[in-house]
Copies of this chain bind each other. A is one copy, B any other.
Amino acid sequence: MPQLRLALAQLDVTVGDLDANADKIVSWTRGAVDRGAHVVAFPELVLTGYPVEDLALRGSFVDASQSKVQTLARRLADEGLGDVVVVCGYLDRAAGTAMGVDRLGRPKGSPTNSAAVIHQGRVVTSAVKHHLPNYGVFDEFRHFVPGNTLQVIRIHGIDVALVICEDLWQDGGPVAVTRAAGAGLLLVVNSSPYEANKDDVRGELVARRAREAGCALAYVNLVGGQDELVFDGDSLIADAEGNVFARAPQFEQGSMLVDLDLPAATAIPVAEHEGIEIVHTVLHEEPLPAYEPLQPAIAPRLSDEAEMYGAVVLGLRDYVRKNGFKSVLLGLSGGIDSSLVAAIACDAVGPENVFGISNPSIYSSDHSRDDAAELAARTGLNYRVIPIQPMVQPFLETLGLNGLAEENLQARVRAVIWMGLSNADGHLVLACGNKSELSVGYSTIYGDSVGGFAPLKDVPKTVVWRLAKWRNADAVAKGQQPPIPENAIAKPPSAELRPGQVDTDSLPPYDLLDDMLDDYVEQDRGSAELVAAGFEPELVSKVVQLVDKAEYKRRQYPPGPKITHKAFGRDRRLPITNAWREDARKAADN
């Protein structure tokens, strides 16, 4: 059977940085060609970065992408890379449209989510995404018009069908006609965001679609952090029977080269099937001379904890770097959340670029100060102690605050200190709250919630402990010092804003709370379903009300990497003004 050496290049690019992204595409193409690749496939919208959001509606941005993909094609040929077939996602505009002919309800300028096929200095054809996802983190009906064709490119005697991301996930559309088109390989370019355990779902999907299409399937995915999204790579290839025989690592930029034996293209192309136009482009009719294939590799799967930790580290590292920061600053309370964030930050940007500030108050315990100092010593981050009482006192004297107002005041004075140091020295401030706290509004707005990024925003408290334990155990396994003091993991959580305070004064135990939040937030179940699941009605009422009331606080919280199925902000978009109240007690009576 004809052979083909395919490179799946899972790159980490930056949204909007067309020049740098094009440079990367050229450099990774050269690397793949040096290793003998015949086709190099890059992810969905790799040239612009993903997601572009409303940049898609700016005419100047679409123009720049269109022009850049043409320049890229010429440059690849100029640099001696014209023979290889390059597949490169970019932003295009639907044929026959211009900025002047906008139609109500259709995205301005009719942008398309496209993938160019580049060969011998030209864009020889272009696939247009057919299924536009518009749920969860996706808003593609807002940004793109759909295509309605399947592109099939004959490369060295093999018919390669090309589709984009969601086209693989949904029934119908171009993937459904791949078999009728007689393709020997289905190539799917993706920018598919990370979510815990999604790699399993993806592997199964790829296997199933390969069987349906009756041909091998190659899947290349983006890598890197982009605001709340983390792309995990995990590119993979299955044979026509659905056996995954090559798989790239998660969270690492790289290029996976795989040799494929594929059926020779048939002579007569089908022009249309089930409403999808099939467009054939012939680059080479003849197969390559036989050559010795490479052995495919399957990257080892990560544990659940390693995967989540990797996502948070990459999300933070890329947010810092891509936004032009060099260092981060965080408040170190000695508690588990800030300890874990500190460990993550040290892994993301190096301890020399992490600044931990301990801000003890008159309510802070000795163990808090000790644990913070111990963490700093273990990790080697930059550590500074600034007691807050001298700054808290004048506010208390002037305003006469007490109770909750006094508690919040302490958190806000800390925030003013962090932001002052950030302004003076250019650090990005990290917020250390976790998803469980955020769910129920257990944080001080403009206090512990200030900052540019919140690594644990989508990590429930019970998972915070799991990740801390995993990180320490992983260090031990590697013969390194575990970064997080054991006492920070073991002690009961407390905000320490008044004497003797612990979180369970106001909240149920976190294992119970996280169970309820999984039902209410992740699964969108109602009070009645929570009660039916065995949770106590009074507690359901309390938790549901806390979650509903905290929407404004969550909106003000910095972005953080998406880890779970339903991250606040992108996945779960609720009104602030919202009088909807589910009555758990009524539900219990039904």
Contact = CB atoms under 8 A, between A and B. Distances in A.
Interface of A: 14-18, 20, 49, 51-55, 57-61, 63-64, 104-105, 107-108, 131, 133-135, 139, 141-142, 166, 169-171, 225-227, 318-319, 322-323, 386, 390-391, 393-395, 397-399, 401, 404-405, 408-409, 412-413, 415-417, 419-421, 423-424, 445-446, 450, 452, 524-529, 552, 556, 558-559, 572-582
B401 A391 contact: no
B54 A574 contact: yes
Contacts of A445: 419
Nearest to A13: B579
Nearest to A556: B556
A415 B446 contact: yes
Q: Which 3 A-B pairs have the closest CB atoms?
A: A60-B526, A16-B580, A17-B579
Contact of A169 (B59, B104, B133, B558): B104
Given A105-B135, A401-B423, A423-B408, A322 B391 contact: no
Contact of A423 (B404, B415, B558, B580): B404
Contacts of A525: 59-60
Given A419-B408, A420-B408, A575-B55, A394 B390 contact: yes
Given A105-B133, A528-B60, A420 B394 contact: no
A573 B53 contact: yes
A526 B452 CA distance: 28
Given A134-B141, A394-B391, A527-B60, A54 B572 contact: yes
Contact of A399 (B49, B105, B318, B417): B417
Given A58-B524, A524-B59, A575-B16, A412 B416 contact: yes
Contacts of A419: 408, 412, 445-446
A410 to B, nearest CB: 11
Contacts of A572: 54
Nearest to A452: B552
A409 B322 CA distance: 27
Contacts of A394: 390-391, 393-394
Contacts of A166: 105
Contacts of A55: 574-575, 578, 580
Given A58-B524, A390-B394, A319 B552 contact: no
A580 B17 contact: yes
A115 to B, nearest CB: 20
B417 A405 contact: no
A575 B53 contact: yes
A412 B20 CA distance: 37
A18 B16 CA distance: 44
Given A107-B135, A108-B524, A446-B446, A577 B416 contact: no
A287 to B, nearest CB: 37
Interface-centre pick from A395, A397, A559, A577 (highest chain B CB count, 10 A): A577
A322 B578 CA distance: 8
A58 to B, nearest CB: 5
A57 B571 CA distance: 11
A397 B393 CA distance: 14
